Structure 1
């Protein structure tokens, strides 16, 4: 009888050892839960794609164990503003995942995909390295209905645009994005934007806005976004918030005061930001919008009077807006027609062309570049103090505004590789702008709440196991404006839906990312 009981006990123990309680066990970590609370020491047990238990789990068995001693265990980072256009070509999204990002919001600046649902259906067939969601783009919709025309839509056209927003929301959009600085969004009046935003609001969506101006017209543009929030009854995110141009340095104090005032009367106004003092967009942002309307730029440059007016507008923008009053502040990132310009500045190009590097000659080169197909451009026209003021605001989240990148392709803004580690390493650890738990909250819990991601962004029993594990003493960005293609240091593990996508600071090749639709969680 004793032998039989011993055998049963042995078989039971053997069975337990062969059938672990967890698929993945994270031991000895310092756990930051994503709420901004102080960290705790503990372990996390994961089964499938869910967190099953948090506590002292050292006696438990798991198929795979990670020893996180000395490491911070955080919710996976949420990128509130990402250019995911190359995702089908780069489905592992290594430049983001190696930053610790497990969810990225695409379709910013008015440029969301269309047709919306079919695009998401196609994307879902790819082996994605991270989770993605999308906004429907106002510029995309306007161009579909009105082309590049500078006019108000008819009532019939507006109704069609409203219907398109409704369709996209029903197909899983998280909200609507605008790019009111860009064509054709710049041609829209506020009533049009409000009408479309109401359709997003009716289905629980948010509004993210590349403001109409980020330079001299910044304050008016922030007021416009707040007005849209009030009239459309919609949460608004001032995306990649900044103050552009030397004349606007210091304006963040006023814009943040406007945000606080709006929140004090009950409006849900939030901010996202990348941690750099340089922006990135097309060279065409230096060109007056009227000159680009209707895709007639070339014809307008051939008219002497229009060309004179066009050049004056470019000179004004070089002096007062993104040009930062200096051709050295305008740096080329992607130049398909002259690859040797990538990484160089407008000043360099002028000198190389045998021209004096004046604003006038710079404007002529901008015209030439646009005629040849334009460029991706980095603008060194922001003040570091504004960057820090905005980052410290309690409603500021982190969004890279980076385009998915891979080594050897172009000369991207360093935010494509370094945004999240830079916040952790430079601004939290080295500059002590805020404690580590606050930095993590800005890129996890606050972001998840803003998007309505009920089961992500916080480390808690029952939540999805999107987890980033990093070394708080060494985490830092390495990408620079001169040498951008560098992955960060200190991001040791990235777990996406329960599966390690990064292990020992290297990609595993395992992909369990998903296309997430707002309709699945609302």
Structure 2
């Protein structure tokens, strides 16, 4: 048999959590064509993967790459980590559907300049990705905050019946176009006034289409338990899986409460479908906000539109310039974003070890001085969390980045090394793989990620970008799931973590 690519002598970790095994892997066209002893077969390209791990391409379960995949289609920060699919549209913020004619309210601007919001429908956004492919595949959610900005002149109140109907119609159109679900971010000003009932009513089409409800909880600090209950209630009302975005317990007074939140999540999993994502750092990053500043042990400015020269500076070192007033500083620096050291490392480790925790970078590619998670998340989990700290075996780490995420989001024919699946592949050195990005130098590339293939084509060869852009806008084929929405088995994780 003649293949386009053969990866020889590698140790295969298949994405299910099962133990690694030695085998060759053959690629023909876009697909994995064979796994086994291919020593007698020929190929256009042969890669000797001796001493290397061959795994499914990593799926970044939580990104804000909606515009990045269009504006910087090489998507280098993700490709160099082994990421082959990004899940965009999180935290209630999606690029579509919205045609902006002026500055968009924070945090929508985390996606980029307001001129990028130019898609009258979700279908138009996915079509734009097809017309100008990126190096990675894109799975997209539709953001509730984006819908509010599209349909509401006054964001400081709950939506009325007419506005809810308009937003629900957009959800229906988005799901028909191929969205994988809806995200919310009631933590943020554009959606803070939204009620529980508004969220249920806007997302009502999910009852028929299926999909996920991914949520940045209303409060990840003192009232986190109440916020979890709200998310659970929305999921039950819609009969869909709830994804708890970047699960954390923030603020010094809440450190250690992941014991409580994870126990509550586990108890509720008996009643409904739940999962979560996390990144491997004790700091988070978002728009500049007074509450986050007061909850943090340290704050670094990531960007400031009026004062770009302050990016990377410690926020509290700047206070003397603004009469030592946090509010005055925010007013002078905004719109702006910051990195907040707001979590405890032991909580991060505990959350990461949970069997339903997926890996999501939550990186912000437009920040002047981004959080290092943008460039380091996946190698950090493999090298620091698995190899050095021994929080879980390498097979479990890969499962959290691949098969688990594909199962939870309903991404078909990806996330596992199976003959017939798309050839999204990563080859990495298990002894060398590590992140190099730091808070001081946040854009350093990781080490140990050797080769990356997307839809059968090399996007990284011997650690170098190839320039190929074989990525796709993935569309959820929801029709085959209608009538099965009540079947947890359809999405059940077979984790061995």
User: Which residue number corresponds to residue 31 of structure 2?
Assistant: 50
Q: Does 1:107 align with 2:89?
A: yes
Corresponding residue for residue 7 of structure 2 = 26
The yes-or-no answer on 1:478 pairing with 2:478 is no
Q: Is the contact between residue 98 and residue 491 of structure 1 (CA under 8 Å) also seen in structure 2?
A: yes
Relative to structure 1, the CA distance from residue 23 to residue 215 in structure 2 (aligned partners, 3 Å threshold; closer, same or farther) is same
Residue in structure 2 matched with residue 413 of structure 1 by the alignment: 371
Secondary structure (helix, strand or coil) at the match of 2:250 reads: coil
* 1:70-95 CA-partner distances (Å, limit 9, x unpaired): 00000000011111122221011111
Contact 2:307–2:333 (Cα < 8 Å) also in 1: no
Distance 1:62 1:381, change over 3 A: same
Are 1:128 and 2:110 an aligned pair?
Answer: no
Preserved CA contact (<8 Å) 2:210 2:478: no
For 1:510, the equivalent position in structure 2 comes to 468
Post-superposition Cα deviations, 1:179-229, rounded to whole Å, max 9, x if no partner, equal 111122111000111122331242121000000011112111111111111
- Say whether the 8 Å CA contact 2:293–2:340 is kept in structure 1: no
1:365 alignment partner, one of 318, 329, 336: 329
Mapping for residues 69-468 of structure 1, pairs under 5 Å: 69-84=50-65, 85-112=67-94, 113-114=96-97, 115-265=121-271, 267-283=272-288, 285-286=289-290, 318-319=293-294, 321=295, 324=296, 326=297, 329-351=298-320, 353=321, 361-370=325-334, 374-404=335-365, 410-468=368-426
Shift of 1:520: 7.4
- Distance of 1:148 and 1:489 partners within structure 2: 48
Residue 74 of structure 2 aligns to a residue in which SS?
Answer: coil
TM-score by length of 1: 0.85
Cα separation, 1, equivalents of 2:227 and 2:54: 39
Cα deviations by residue, 1:324-353 (Å, 9 ceiling, x for unpaired): 2x5xx11111123222211111112124x2
8 Å CA contact retained: 2:148, 2:155 = no
Structure 2 stretches lacking a partner, 5+ long: 98-120, 481-497
Aligned equivalents of 1:377 and 1:108: distance in 2? Answer: 18
The answer as to whether partners of 1:475 and 1:490 remain within 8 angstroms in 2 is yes
Paired with 1:483 and 1:220, the residues of 2 have a C-alpha distance of 37
Bigger Rg, which one: 1
**Structure 2 SS opposite 1:45:** strand
Work out the CA distance in 1 between the residues paired with 2:240 and 2:399: 23
Answer whether contact 2:246 2:362 (CA < 8 A) is retained.
yes
Q: Deviations over 1:28-58 (max 9, x none)?
A: 0000000000000010011000011100111
Give the count of matched residue pairs. 455
- Cα distance, 1:381 vs. partner? 1.0
- Tell me the equivalent position of 2:445: 487
1:385-435 deviation digits (Å, cap 9, x = unpaired): 110010000100011101236xxx710000100000000000000000000
Matched residue SS, 1:78? strand
Contact conserved, 2:209 with 2:478, CA < 8 A, in 1? no
1:232: how far off? 1.5
CA contact (8 A) 1:335 1:341 kept: yes
Could you say if the C-alpha distance between residues 48 and 411 of structure 1 is closer, same or farther in structure 2, counting changes exceeding 3 Å?
same
CA 1:117 to 1:354, structure 2 compared with 1: closer, same or farther past 3 Å?
closer
SS at 1:147's partner residue?
Answer: coil
Q: Does structure 2 retain, via aligned residues, the 8 Å contact 1:256–1:390?
A: yes
Note if contact 1:111-1:137 (Cα within 8 Å) is conserved in structure 2: yes
What TM-score results when the alignment is normalised by the length of structure 2?
0.89
Q: Is the 8 A contact 1:454 1:521 kept in 2?
A: no
Deviation at 1:521, TM superposition (A): 8.3
For residues 266-310 of structure 1, what are the alpha-carbon distances to aligned partners after superposition, in whole Å with 9 as ceiling and x for unaligned?
x00100111110000000x32xxxxxxxxxxxxxxxxxxxxxxxx
1:477 Cα deviation (Å)?
A: 0.5
Matches of 1:470 and 1:139, distance apart in 2: 38
Q: Distance in 1 between matches of 2:478 and 2:467?
A: 27
1:148, 1:184 within 8 Å by CA — same for their partners in 2? no
Deviations 1:232-271 (A, max 9, x none): 1110000011111101111111111111011122x00100
